[in-house]
Amino acid sequence: MAKKDLRERIKEVAVEHFNNNGYHGTTIRNIAKDVNCSLPMIYYYYNNKKELFDEIIKREYFGLLKRQAALLRTNNIIDFYTKFVYDLNSLSNYDKKVYRLGIKVYLSFDGDEELMEIMDEWEKTILPRHYQILKPYLKNADNDIAIVRTLVHLLETLIESIVVKNRFLPEEEIREEISIVLREC
Amino acid sequence: MAKKDLRERIKEVAVEHFNNNGYHGTTIRNIAKDVNCSLPMIYYYYNNKKELFDEIIKREYFGLLKRQAALLRTNNIIDFYTKFVYDLNSLSNYDKKVYRLGIKVYLSFDGDEELMEIMDEWEKTILPRHYQILKPYLKNADNDIAIVRTLVHLLETLIESIVVKNRFLPEEEIREEISIVLREC
DNA sequence: CTCTATACTTAACGTTCGTTAGAATTATAC
DNA sequence: GTATAATTCTAACGAACGTTAAGTATAGAG
């Protein structure tokens, strides 16, 4: 087994376990069993349980978020957001689980205060980012900011449905809901 | 200490602990310490850890949901939903924590399959219930159902903000967002 | 072939967990 | 006041946890 392989496989199995059983419900022994390696090998690649968890959130989850945020825009704003959400359906199982784990930390259902601070920092960027995206389409009405806020709130639930509840959302349903919020754009 | 008192206090402290540390992160010893009673007293009133957790979800959380669902309606539908969400701000700390714990189980971040089934059953009733409430205000357009779905999705995020993230949402912000979704009603 | 760094193992450490046995205390009934 | 039932305690059980010590295999370099 090459070095990189095993380290990566440990992380993959860890994502699965942290997802299913939470941080405290996950044991290094069970991870080792599923990876089919001895228990101390986990400690060979990761200093301790928390470091393994942190790497998943800090590297995998935020890597995923940044890839998502960098998506190209189409001309039609409703098309863009529909695609943005719809494409989550076809995320790999691994990425979905990483995403789910990140949301768990985001809702402070898992993780610690340090991770929560990173989440809070990220959260502050969400509204401004979407405001920039939507700006050209807004009608300069006094409820512009409210529209952006409503859309972001709606997106949050749609993402949760797909990623956390593991449901498939049809493109048409996503488009309908986004259109309702953005119907004046 | 009267019987009822202690049993109730154990449940209150348990809500706190399950909320902060999850099911597996919570220990009977720590609950007993905070309640200021001996460890086996927990087992005197509850057969085991899982039964204590289950009672919180099955009785406290669903009790709360049913009280919420039974709320009276006003004449104005936007007023109704605004109040519905806004009033969550002033839920007691205990009720907020019970709610938060329920959402955690709802998102299958905690609990087991049996509790998830109960959640699924409840979830099926949500859309029809709100459709009944909104029916008189809908314009019989072909996106009626989509509007109800969008509203329910928006409500979900707003509730999460208040209860899970423990934020205060001003009445005006809530009204704005609900109005955007229901602007044709 | 030997040396050395890397990859991996077995076995155990000390701690904490959920849970219970069994006795002590307190309240209630007659 | 004594018998009985309801509370509460101290102490401990076995099991599982995170982590580590100390050694064995393996593979590439000289």
Res. B4: pLDDT tops 70 = no
Helix (H) or strand (E) holding A75: none
Cβ distance A150 to A182 under 8 Å? no
B72 within domain boundaries: yes
User: Which of B30, B82, B127, B150 to substitute to test the interface with A, most A CBs within 10 Å?
Assistant: B150
Same domain, B84 and B105: yes
pLDDT at A4 over 90: no
The residue segments making up the domain with residue A112 are 57-181
Looking at the fold, whether A63 and A42 belong to one and the same domain comes out as no
- Please indicate, yes or no, if residue A27 is contained in any of the structural domains: yes
A3 pLDDT exceeds 70? no
Residue A144 above 60 pLDDT? yes
B165 found inside a domain: yes
Domains contained in chain B, number: 2
A3 and A29, same domain (yes or no): yes
| Residue A51 within a domain | no
pLDDT in tens, B50-85: 999 999 999 999 999 999 888 877 789 999 999 999
| pLDDT higher than threshold 80 for residue A47 | yes
**Residue B78: how many CA atoms within 13 Å on its side-chain side?**
15
Tell me, yes or no, whether A39 lies in a domain. Answer: yes
Whether A159 maps to a domain, the answer reads yes
Task: Report CB contact under 8 Å: A109, B108.
Answer: no
Asked, for residue A52, whether it belongs to a domain, the answer is no
Strand D neighbours among A 65-104, CB < 7 A: none
**Sequence-separated (6 or more) residues with CB below 8 Å from residue B13:** B31, B34, B35
The pLDDT tens digits of the residues spanning B135-168 come to 999 988 889 999 999 999 999 999 999 999 999 9
Whether A48 sits with its Cβ under 7 A from any strand D atom: the answer reads yes
B22 and B110 in a common domain: no
Largest CA distance in chain B: 62
Q: Alpha helix locations (H) across chain B?
A: 3-25, 28-35, 39-45, 49-55, 62-69, 77-86, 93-106, 113-134, 144-159, 171-181
B138 and B73 share one domain: yes
**What is the arithmetic mean of pLDDT over B6-24?**
95
Taking the C-alpha atoms of residue A8 and residue B81, their distance in angstroms, rounded to an integer, is 48
Q: Residue A86 contacts by C-beta under 8 Å, 6 or more apart in sequence?
A: A169, A171, A174
Question: What is the tens place of the pLDDT at every residue in B108-138?
Answer: 999 888 999 999 999 999 999 999 999 999 9
Average pLDDT (A31-58) is 95
**CA separation for the pair A80, A41 (Å, rounded):** 44
Which CATH number is B24's domain given? 1.10.10.60
pLDDT at residue A22 greater than cutoff 60? yes
Q: Determine the nucleotide nearest to B41 by Cα–C1' distance.
A: D8
pLDDT of residue A141: 81
**Does B71 lie in the same domain as B42?**
no
Q: Which long-range contacts (CB under 8 A, 24 or more apart) does B58-64 make?
A: B58/B115, B58/B118, B60/B11, B60/B15, B60/B98, B61/B98, B61/B99, B61/B101, B61/B102, B61/B105, B62/B102, B62/B118, B62/B122, B64/B95, B64/B98, B64/B99, B64/B102
Token reading at A75:
């001309």
- Centre a 10 Å sphere on the Cβ of residue B102 and count the other Cβ atoms it contains: 24
> In the predicted model, what is the mean pLDDT of residues A80-98?
95
Within-domain flag for B105? yes
Residues B167 and B119 in one domain: yes
Residue A163 sits in the same domain as residue A93: yes
**B interface residues, A as partner, C-beta within 8 Å:** 21-25, 104, 107-110, 143, 146-147, 149-150, 153-154, 156-158, 160-161, 164-165, 173, 176-177, 179-181, 183
Q: Does strand D come within 7 Å of the CB of B139?
A: no
* pLDDT the model gives residue A72: 75
Same domain, A113 and A141: yes
Same domain as B128, residue B37: no
Q: Which of B85, B91, B96 shows the shortest CA–CA distance to B177?
A: B85
- Asked whether residue B78 falls in the same domain as residue B150, the answer is yes
Q: Please state, in angstroms and rounded to a whole number, the distance separating the CA atoms of residues A107 and A99.
A: 12
Q: What is the model's pLDDT at position B2?
A: 44
B135 in the same domain as B69: yes
